[in-house]
Amino acid sequence: MADIDALTSSAYAHALEVIASVEPRIAEATRAELADQRGSLKLIASENYASPAVLLTMGTWFSDKYAEGTVGHRFYAGCQNVDTVESLAAEHARELFGAEYAYVQPHSGIDANLVAFWSILAHRVEGPWLEKYGAKNVNDLTEADWEALRHELGNQRLLGMSLDAGGHLTHGFRPNISGKMFHQQQYGTDPETGLIDYDAVRAKAREFKPLILVAGYSAYPRRVNFATMREIADEVGATLMVDMAHFSGLVAGKVFTGDEDPVPHAHIVTSTTHKSLRGPRGGLVLAQEELAPSVDRGCPMVLGGPLSHVMAAKAVAFAEARTPEFRAYAQQVADNAQSLAEGFLRRGANLVTGGTDNHLVLLDVTSFGLTGRQAESALLDAGIVTNRNSVPADPNGAWYTSGVRLGTSALTTRGFGGAEFERVAELIVDVLSNTEAGTTKAGGPSKASYSVADGTVERVKAASGELLDKHPLYPGIDLA
């Protein structure tokens, strides 16, 4: 291991020298980013730390190759090595998740969702339409028929989780392209418990009759029964799509199994490959075999040319996730979230749903007299990196919010355990308890300005520094 650490450190040191020879400011920003990440408590639920092997895999000449198409069917010559990379990444993904089919080309989670949406539309709408007219593809349709098909494709129904209940912008909301593609309605959570009410989802689906039922979340701190969601989808003739971008690492690590594993139940599953999966920034689609031909059209349907260097890094990350060590890591992520939640509850903090059983905690900061934006900013001053987030029926809206979302994936990668997360909860409560909302120029309450009591930032930074020093980030890399 010492030899590997030395090689890794040397690789990064020399790489930065090469970069600095062309644009030294980029090399300096890269060094500064590592220093910032090493010196802060990173609790953003959508972030993690990829391994040096994953990071190094992205910096190769695979970046120079165009490879539109699919394995063995490219629109450019000389893609035999890209075929190897994509095949390996897809193979690891299928084995890791027990999926019938894997598509590893999406550049991001939004791209993966777009591929899934259009694949469903192609399979459920375009395919039957072409069959009706005896056409092989849309080019065989008359202009009038094509106009009618476009109208049909753009007027389908989608039912997804509301934003304030923990859903995501890509699940049919108008700021995102999905909200412009579909006629969309939302299901929420029980106003008393904050939990998904499956009977209410069923009633909404029966009434709305969507083509697509979307399950999955970005800020829901509980598990989902995907078997029940599939029953609801089947009952109304919908395709069940699950976006597991946030919790795919817990699925890969077998923390979520049975009815809580979306892959056996959903028609199509999307994910990012970073977050709890701890790979490179990118997207992934898993699907039942019947949808594979439509998914394979992702490029050029909605994707540009595949990022071959990132697909290579995905293959490395998926290989890492197939190890016993990753399963132990995934379980620790969930255990640490429990410790963080319990640390808050012992100090009287208010958590959405009263706790967690996945990788994230949603803290309602209104009891501290703050908005989410004020809390996020005060915590950042103290070296604790979080992100503000809406809570159910949020009175402050989606910009200022009333909550802060906290995730345990990144600090678990650094080696934090339950005791450290208990301490993290204490530090967060210390900051928020000593932060006051500011006032506007007119003298009213401000949703953005704030003040932190003297000595708080220094005290918390010193305490967090002790935790971070015990669990250094990329300890084998020395860029001094």
**Residues annotated as part of the active site:** 66, 68, 243, 272, 275, 281
Instruction: Tokens 């539109």: give the residue.
Output: 68
Rounded to whole angstroms, how far apart are CA atoms 389 and 371? 10
CB-based contact 48:413 (threshold 8 Å): yes
Q: Which two tokens stand for residue 293?
A: 């031909």
The dihedral built from the CA positions of residue 381, 382, 386 and 390, taken in this order, carries a sign that is negative
Rg, the chain, Cα only: 23
Tokens 């098909």 belong to 149
- Give the whole-angstrom CA distance, residue 228 versus residue 408: 28
Q: Give the number of C-alpha atoms closer than 13 A to the C-alpha of residue 40, restricted to the C-beta side.
A: 19
Q: Are strands 183-187 and 157-161 parallel, antiparallel or unpaired?
A: parallel
Q: What is the DSSP string of 72-86?
A: TEESSS--HHHHHHH
Element (DSSP H or E) covering residue 287: strand 283-287
Assign 319 to helix, strand or coil.
helix
DSSP state letter for 159: E
DSSP 8-state class, residue 437: E
Q: Which amino acid, 186?
A: Q
Q: How does 405-438 read in b/e, with b if 16+ C-beta sit within 10 Å?
A: bbbbbbbbbbebebebbbbbbebbbbbbebbebe
Instruction: Work out the number of other CB atoms within 10 angstroms of the CB of residue 281.
Output: 16
Q: Is residue 349 within 8 Å of residue 336, measured between CB atoms?
A: no
Residues 6+ apart with CB under 8 A from 79: 65, 67, 69
**Residues 6 or more apart in contact with residue 456 via CB below 8 angstroms:** 382, 430, 431, 434, 435
Peptide bond into 210 cis (omega under 30): no
CA distance 43 to 340: 11
